[in-house]
Structure 1
Amino acid sequence: MKTLNKTISLFITLFSATLLAQTTISGSVVDSNNQPLIDAHIIIENSIYGTYTDTEGHFILTVDMRPPFNLSASRIGYETLSIQVLNNNQIINFILKEGTDLDDTVVYGSRKPESVRESPVPIEIFDATDIRVSTATPNFYTSLENLKGVDINHGSLTFNSVNTRGFATFANNRFVQLIDGMDNASPALNFVMGNLVGMNELDVHSVELLPGASSALYGANAFNGILFMTSKNPFNFEGISAYYKQGITSQDAAGDNTYRDFGIRAAHKFSDKFAGKASFSYLKGTDWYATDYNEYNRGSVGTPDNISPFRSSPAHDGLNIYGDEISLGAALGMNLKELVQTYEGILFPIGSSILVPENNVARTGYREQDLTDYNANSLKADFALHYRPLADDLEIIWNSRLGRGNTIFQGGNRYQLKNFFIQQHRLEIKNDDFFLRGYTTSEKAGDSYDMFFTGLNMNKVGAEEWFGTYAGAYLQGAAQVQASGGNPFDPTIQEQLHTASRNAADQLVTIQPGTPQFKTLFNQITSDPDVNTGSKFIDNSKMYVVEGNYNFSRLLKDAVDLQIGGSARQYALNSQGTIFTDYDGPIKYDEFGAYIQGIKKLADDRLKVTASIRYDKNEFFDANLSPRISLVYFAGANKNHNIRASFQTGFRNPHTQSLFIGLNVGDVLLVGGAPANLDKNLPNTNLTARDAYFDSYSLASFLAFAASQGTSPIEPVNGTGMTPLVEPEKVKAFDLGYRGTVGPVDIDFSAYYNNYDNFLAEKVVITPNSGSTSDLSGIADIASGNYTIFQLNTNSSADISSYGAIIGLSTRIAKDFKLSASYNFAKFDFDQSSDPDFSAGFNTPEHKVKISFGNTNLFKNLGFQVNGRWSDEYLWQANIANAMIPSRTVIDAQINYTIPAIKSIFKIGGTNLGGKEYQSAVGTGYIGQQYFISWTINNL
């Protein structure tokens, strides 16, 4: 009993002490015009305690600390202010002076907090306030395009690919996107799905983007840049927030269609030790219709000279039409005259072929809009539990992210990603000095399918009957013309005969869209993973990652900032043979890396030296070392003119597709170059990857051989028939830059030069099916058409470089108006003659200009933003087609109104207000306009 009484007394004493130690501080944060500042960060210095201001600029903070202590307020674009707290329930009102964006704090340039000025590399930032009141697009993710040096390629309404410094694709394997440290890339496809399964905008705390090579700290694939998105911590951001957006997408091909987007976030701090949050969002709209029905000549640039307009020939192969690849030549190995000759005396009168020219005829294909409903949607959910066991900076986090959506992806073909699902689960322990995290990513392709093979296999049904009907109708029409005294070989008559014959064959044989028969056949083919008969692709791939970092600065008494870290990753590819050569079971492989970085300030803190080196090893390749050294010099009396220079080497491991792909995309078969892939059987052939890599003819000599009808010699690849297996790509990157303020203008300038070695490339080769390049049997195969066309993943021997410069200027006019502008120059250079078959795919405008003008407080609680972008024309090179993309000017704008009493912000906006539709790449839908109204409630 005495022991129990003592225990109770001790508990009461401790509980009372805790109550006595609690201190509550409240107040507000305003600017020099007495306007409230939303999302200002309030923190007790040298502690973990903090919060953020609400929509009225107010805050309340309760902590288990006794005064006195210092309370500071900070916000992007304003100077930090610190005030001492002396009493419990003290009211503190901060008035922050306008600062400069160059003083904003960033984390990821050096893996530690520092100002933008001090960052040794170029860096762009975007935060929750920008999302709330400055974005002029319905989707915050696409607003990143307004950052200087940033490109966004719009593949569809919900699939947008971020890139910097050129070599862009929709499968952008050169650019990394991290959400709370987790790689957001698809494990199988190895590229980011935009924000399709990413972050709810209500939970975005900050976005930082590093353009250029970042391998020295972040490993393979951080080759063109890296994007960091950090979510809000529930300890600091409590309450319930929600938004609703509605509007229309407007496009000439699709018309006007409703667009809706809804999201909610809830977070609560249960105690100083435990907090949790959950968020959910759902977007639904109509995707941009792709209606390019021109035919592009493969291997050449799409210009009026080599683009064939729709139905310019009976064998026309339209880009966004599928199934018109089935022709007499492809299906039966003959042209129209030969078909009639074959059946003379059986189906057609003897001598009929004299009325028939030697035309190749193709079936009428299905338009893309016949093979998809263009239903674009995205559902995202996020759950997190945060635990601080000691009520200090040590924090344990469990986080689960789930995403499901419909979108269209363009690679070698156009793919409908339907009910595509990705989930990520993370366990992390961290404090101010270290982090250790492990996470897994898994995905399922759902009901996704290849639209090319859907149309192709649907048109295989009744193909011979269709061609027979076509030929019969053509002969009947030609005979009637001749009988009436006309000339059936007149070009105008020829066009009329082919059109009438096509109509007759389509009406009698083709299964028409919208009919029950069409739906039945469509469902059958899109459920079948065999590309000979179906178009479904299967993906149940996974990725496992462990990584950590420790900063020794505190242990070293800040004598030097020293960090050591590392990571390990395993891929488990599982497409059941529909994407990879994993028909006999999942393919697993590993990679790991480690790095060390030191930062030291010298010369009276005017010179900051950062040096790092990273070691990485993939199980298929030799290890890579990636060193980086950078210098930042703080010039001027106030050290506010900052000059930086850096050199680093980066590398890029071949991605999963370049290692193990074995995918038929119609006219070519894609093959990966991993050593473990060589003896895998390739789909629809009797060949292996070893045959394709070590016994093939070059494309250039094959085309010359065909054009000369066999008189020009056909040559083995590299003289031996051998194509090198794929190896890691490397880059030497040089950066120079300046950040500073001259008068009222902030200046941020960067120039870069990149030189590439072993540039990852795709090479088309021609492989004899039964013969060999080592003797005449291979030539016999080529002459008889007994060959397979492969696209191999390898490296280019060409000397390739890219260079460019970016300058950004920003200033404030009449205090509240912010004007910013940037110019981006980007160029690449290589000797085409050193590798004639190589297609560089720079896919980036040489010149870009961006201008932003806005005021968050034009009148009380009323703000606006206008963003304009211009880019000149550029060449887009891809497997699907090559073409020049015209120059474009795009203007987005919005106005917003805040009602503090109901903690709400209303916004009305529109994108591409000039009205001229544009493409990011050949083959995609033209981007029209979006008009929207949104209501955001923030109760944080």
Structure 2
Amino acid sequence: MQSPVTVEKLTARDLRLTPAPSFFDAIDNVKGVQVITPSLSFKVINARGFTNTTNVRFAQLVDGIDNQAPHLGGPIGNVLGPSDLDIRSVEIVPGTAAALYGLNAINGLANFSTLNPFASEGLSVQQKAGVNHVQDPGTGARPFTETSLRYAKVLASKLAFKVNGTYLRGYDWVANDQTELNPNGNATTGLLGADNPARDPVNSYGNESSDRSTLTLGGKSYSVARTGYDERDVVDYHLQTIKADAALHYKLSAATELSYTYRLAVLDNVYQRSNRFRLQDYRLQQHALQLLGPVVQARAYITTENTGKSYNLRSAAENLDRSFKPDDVWNREYTAAWNAATGNGQSVAQAHAAARAAADAGRLQPGTAAFRQRLSELQDLNNWDQGAALRVQADLLHAEAQLDLGAALRRAGQTWLPAAVDVRVGADHRTYLIVPDGNYFINPGPGKDPLRDNLTYSKTGGFGQAGLHLFDDKVRLTATLRADKNDYFTIRFNPRFTAVYSPWREHNFRLSYQSGYRFPSLFEGFSNVNSGQVKRIGGLRVMSSGVFENSYLRSSIDAFNAAVTAAVNADKSGATPAQKKERAITQSQGLLRRTPYTYLRPEHIRSLELGYKAALLPGGRLLVDVDFYYNAYRDFIAQVEAYVPKTLNPDSAAIYLNSRSTQNRYRLWTNAQSKVYNYGGSLGLRYELPRGFRAGANATYARLARTESGDGLEDGFNTPRWLYNVSLDNENLYRGLGFGLRYHWQQRYYSQTFLVSGEVPAYHSLDAQLSYALPRPDLRFKLGATNVLNQYYVTFLGGPSVGGLYYASVTYAVK
């Protein structure tokens, strides 16, 4: 109630009443929060705009411990988090929290609190069984199961332990968007729709821009793509998650506790970044040591990541085509077949279809033994120009400590610090460690062996905070200053100022101003990937020195080559094709633009927030929470495609940039030149009705206000302007029978990613559950469904269609 920033909370009661199949899925209905779904077992949390499928701007903690996959820079859903049997509560801070946490949490954070074995011991077992893909003609109904176990025991007055285990299996949501990404690839020749030989459906891979060639046929230039494969051809949609944790707790005193926790996760699912990936036998482990007390809180942990047998779906499709027949051979056969077809009197469109059929003769067909064998081989080849394997091993090492200086002084008998003053200080250090794999990461450091020496990337930070309580605790003021020093960057400072005014205990007004920095993640800073004949490299100078200075924007190159093709096709003179092309290049070379971007800098946000929270009506039955924020961003970390001609003579650059074989292609991490402003707010109401009924509603508004010096490179806002949730529930409607209803709606929005950009349609979803609880034995049954009406929707472009999930669960506890 008196927090100086917006805090959303899911209590144990909320989690019991949710129709969602897990506590993590229930976050979708929290005020101010947007959730996207790359996979049935992989959801991504975001708040206040600028999100994507790897949200490196939002931190996710379990008992204060970061559970990200180190090389991704973000968590893989809740695979390294607690089970439903061990969750106590969820707290979400929408909005920047970098001043205190320093974890790149410039869009917010979520903290999952687990049950303490001293307070909650005994055996608990939960079984869920369900079905999805109902009425899905592509797959048919598929089963879903999840089994969880928790056991906690107090061994002595000061010693207790707990163990948890979860095993989940199911069939993932399918991505099969056939929307055309290159509809005008041959518009100058009148070949559109199914006749376009450069078609590129969203969830079809191997026909992207790097898989196209410009062929001169019948005196005209045509853009022709390799045939490619649909996503469902190259991925196994069966998913599973195996996760377990064990913790040992020791009480040093009544209020101070020391604990050690080990977590393990092994998973198979589908993930999306710039490309789609099959995460397969992916392994995460974490060891954590915590000391929690009224004066000192300290944590040290290490997270290890091994991507197992994961692979890139786009690279798999591209190299299935290329391993069957190299591009140059396929192009020659296509050209010969086209000439033969037109010579036999076929139309241009018919000739293209015949040419493709001839060049594809003998192509590996999905479902055959030869196809499966080759796909398996590519999954184990760690070079995306030839194979598809994702082979990364990474560690995250973190240590932090906080001291309540005021409490420490008072405990030591020092009285010079007034009781109305709070002082807190803290410090942390984090190091990432990467084992070079030669494809995804190398060690670029001077004097380092790029393939043998491990790559390290570190940050050290600290903060001081002072708080003042005035006028009988009706006014609380806080000032915080944080400093962070990251490898490759100078020290950065983050201030935060907050005020809370509570004229009465039931009414609380809040105001905060803070800034935050986000340092480049491992992938943004150090990636070194050969991906479909485009090399993706990190934006730190140590990785991309010389590339920015000598490159041209891909957008300008595409415009230049389109103009060249149009000029060649419009040229009715008797000149040879080579002469036509030379003239067209000279006429169009003014379209080429040098890359204006440069090496990475930290991303920065300044945020102002106002809020009001009140408990109204007798007994506080009506809870009202409203907030408004205004953010200013600069130096967005984003990607740009830029190509370098293979010549040192700038006068020849246009000639070299007209051919894929005479240029080096890069996708670079850099900073947008835009200054971006966004604002929004949310309103939440919760009303405790008679006889145990509870009604709730919340609405969230987010808007991209304006962009100064907009260069189009700023990361996608990717956020609906409006979304709202409505709920009604009762835990004990009649003799242990309860129910819960949740309705979610969100407006259509523009999605901008490197895989695909366009409009995400609006969607709505109704979730429902019936529950029955028996006090003896402690047994709880639940029959639930998400998206009860089974109206398929997508939460982002390129991702899967999400339908209904219908399940039953039983939970048994022995105290």
TM-score by length of structure 1 reads: 0.78
Question: Aligned partners of 1:722, 1:799: CA distance in 2, in Å?
Answer: 16
The secondary structure found in structure 2 opposite 1:518 is helix
Give 1:586's match in structure 2, choosing from 439, 454, 476.
Answer: 454
Name the CA distance, whole Å, in 1 between partners of 2:658 and 2:340.
Answer: 35
The 5 A counterparts of 1:26-65 are none
376-385 vs 908-917, which moves further: 908-917
Q: How far apart are 1:729 and its partner, in Å?
A: 1.2
Question: Aligned partners of 2:533 and 2:35: how far apart in 1?
Answer: 29
1:690 aligns to 2:545 (yes or no): yes
Q: Which region of structure 1 is more displaced relative to structure 2, 133-142 or 891-900? A: 133-142
- CA deviations 1:387-422 (Å, max 9, x no partner) are 124x53332211100011011111111111101101
Q: Post-superposition shift, 1:475?
A: 6.1
State the match for 2:514 in structure 1: 648
Question: Which residue type is aligned with residue 215 of structure 2?
Answer: M
SS of residue paired to 2:133:
strand
Measured against aligned partners, the alpha-carbon deviations of 1:523-561 in whole angstroms (never above 9, x if no partner) come to: 111110012221101111111111011113334444422
Deviations 1:632-690, CA, capped at 9 Å, x for gaps: 11124xx311111111111111111121112233264322122322xxxxxxxxxxx22
Q: How does 1:9-28 map to 2 (within 5 A)?
A: none
Report whether the alignment pairs 1:566 with 2:566: no
Note the C-alpha offset of 1:163. Answer: 0.5
1:614 aligns with 2:482: yes
Partner SS state of residue 702, structure 1: helix
Q: Is the 8 A contact 2:612 2:625 kept in 1?
A: yes
SS of 2:241's partner is strand
Distance 1:914 1:575, change over 3 A: farther
CA contact (8 A) 2:249 2:257 kept: yes
Shift of 1:130: 2.5
Distance in 2 separating the partners of 1:469 and 1:219: 57
Deviation per CA, 1:491-512: give whole Å up to 9, x if none: xxx5555545545655x41111
| 1:701–1:527 Cα change, 3 Å | closer
**Could you tell me whether the CA contact under 8 Å between 1:444 and 1:539 is conserved in 2?**
yes
CA distance in 1, matches of 2:86, 2:668: 42
The answer to whether residue 91 in structure 2 is matched with residue 238 in structure 1 is no
How much has 1:296 moved relative to structure 2?
1.2
How many Å separate the matches in 2 of 1:336 and 1:429?
A: 72
Aligned pairs (5 A) from 1:401-440: 401-440=263-302
For 1:279 and 1:770, the matched residues in 2 are separated by 60
Q: 1:712 to 1:559 in 2, by over 3 A?
A: same
Equivalence for 1:41: none
Describe the superposition over 1:346-368 as per-residue Cα deviations: whole angstroms up to 9, x where unpaired: xxxxxxxxxxx764443332221
Work out whether residues 241 and 268 of structure 2, in 8 Å CA contact, stay in contact via their aligned partners in 1.
yes
Does 2:397 correspond to 1:529? no
Structure 1 partner of 2:597: 723
Number of the residue aligned with 1:264: 149
Assess, with a 3 A threshold, how the Cα gap between structure 1 residues 398 and 695 changes in structure 2: closer, same or farther: same
The more displaced of 465-474 and 397-406 is 465-474
Q: CA deviation at 1:329?
A: 5.1
* Conserved? CA contact 2:215–2:335, under 8 Å: no
Q: CA offset at residue 884 of structure 1? A: 0.1
Check 1:167–1:702 CA distance in 2 against 1; reply closer, same or farther (3 A cut).
same
Residue in 2 that maps onto 1:347: none
Whether the 8 Å CA contact 1:726–1:793 is kept in 2: the answer is yes
Give the aligned residue type for 2:244.
Answer: A
**Residue number among 157, 162, 176 corresponding to 1:291 in the alignment:** 176
Q: Which amino acid aligns with 2:10?
A: F
The amino acid of 1:188's aligned partner reads H
Structure 1 residues 310 and 393, CA gap change in structure 2 (3 angstroms): farther
- Alpha carbons of structure 1 residues 791 and 477: separation in structure 2 relative to 1, 3 Å: closer
Aligned mates of 2:224, 2:407 — CA distance in 1 = 76
1:292-345: CA deviations, max 9, x gaps? 1232149x9x9x9xxx99744223222212223499953xx634558xxxxxxx
Residues 75-114 of structure 1 aligned to structure 2 (within 5 Å): none
> Would you say the 8 A contact 1:294–1:310 is kept in 2?
no
The alpha-carbon deviation at position 811 of structure 1 amounts to 0.8
1:138 partnered with 2:12:
no
* Residue aligning to 2:526: 660
CA distance in 2, matches of 1:238, 1:217: 33
Match of 1:334 in 2: 215
- C-alpha change, 1:229 and 1:142, in structure 2 (3 Å) is same
Deviation per CA, 1:184-222, whole angstroms, max 9, x where unpaired?
111111111111232211111121110100011000411
Instruction: Give the corresponding residue for 2:239.
Output: 376
Distance 1:232 1:327, change over 3 A: closer
Residue 198 of structure 1 corresponds to which residue in structure 2?
81
Query: What displacement does 1:706 show?
Result: 2.8
- 1:413–1:665 Cα contact (<8 Å) kept: no
Equivalent position to 2:607, from 720, 730, 733: 733
- 2:367 maps to which residue? 514
Superposed CA deviations along residues 600-647 of structure 1, whole A, max 9, x for unmatched, are 2101211111221111110211111111111111124xx311111111
Structure 1 Cα separation of the partners of residues 673 and 356 of structure 2:
48
Q: Which residue of 2 aligns with 1:93?
A: none
Q: What corresponds to 1:321 in structure 2?
A: 204
The CA deviation at 1:703 is: 3.8
Query: Tell me, what secondary structure is at the counterpart of 1:118?
Result: coil
Equivalences for residues 666-815 of structure 1 within 5 A: 666=532, 668-677=534-543, 689-709=544-564, 710=585, 711-714=587-590, 723-743=597-617, 744-771=621-648, 775-785=650-660, 786-815=662-691
Q: 2-side partners of 1:894 and 1:835: how far apart?
A: 47
Is 1:755–1:801's contact at 8 Å kept on the other side of the alignment? Answer: yes
* CA distance in structure 1 between the aligned counterparts of 2:422 and 2:392, rounded to whole angstroms: 43
Give the deviation of 1:769 after TM superposition.
2.4
Query: Does the C-alpha gap of structure 1 residues 364 and 782 become closer, same or farther in structure 2, counting only changes over 3 Å?
Result: closer
CA offsets per residue over residues 215-238 of structure 1, 9 Å max, x none? 110004111001111211111110
1:869–1:310 Cα change, 3 Å: farther
Letter paired with 2:239? A
Q: 1:328·1:360 contact (CA, 8 Å) conserved in 2?
A: no
Tell me if structure 1 keeps the 8 A contact 2:182–2:200: no
Q: Letter of the 1:843 partner, please give it.
A: N
Tell me, yes or no, if structure 1 residue 395 matches structure 2 residue 257.
yes
- How far 1:479 moved relative to its partner? 5.9
Match of 1:158 among 29, 41, 63: 41
Partner Cα separation in structure 2 for residue 589 and residue 543 of structure 1: 10
Which residues of structure 2 form unaligned runs of 5+?
Answer: 411-418, 444-449, 565-584
Alpha-carbon separation, structure 1, partners of 2:641 and 2:556: 11
- CA deviation string 1:461-515 (max 9, x = no partner): 33266666666666666566x4xxxxx32xxxx5555545545655x41111222
Shift of 1:781: 2.3
Is 1:624 the equivalent of 2:486? Answer: no
Local SS of the residue matching 2:407: coil
- Give the conservation status (yes or no) of the 8 Å contact 1:329–1:335: no
Pair 129,813 (structure 1): closer, same or farther in 2 beyond 3 Å: closer
Task: Give the letter aligned to residue 566 of structure 1.
Answer: A
Q: Per-residue deviation at 1:519? A: 1.8
Distance verdict in 2 for CA 1:792–1:478, change over 3 Å: closer
Q: For residue 541 of structure 1, give the secondary structure of its aligned residue in structure 2.
A: strand
Q: 1:457 aligns with which of 305, 310, 319?
A: 319
Which has more radius of gyration? 1
Per the alignment, residue 903 of structure 1 pairs with: 778
Quote the residue 2:466 is aligned against.
598
SS in 2 for 1:369: helix
Q: Is the 8 A contact 2:284 2:303 kept in 1?
A: yes
Q: How many residues align?
A: 767
Question: Which TM-score applies when normalising by structure 2?
Answer: 0.90
8 A contact 1:388–1:394 mirrored in 2? yes
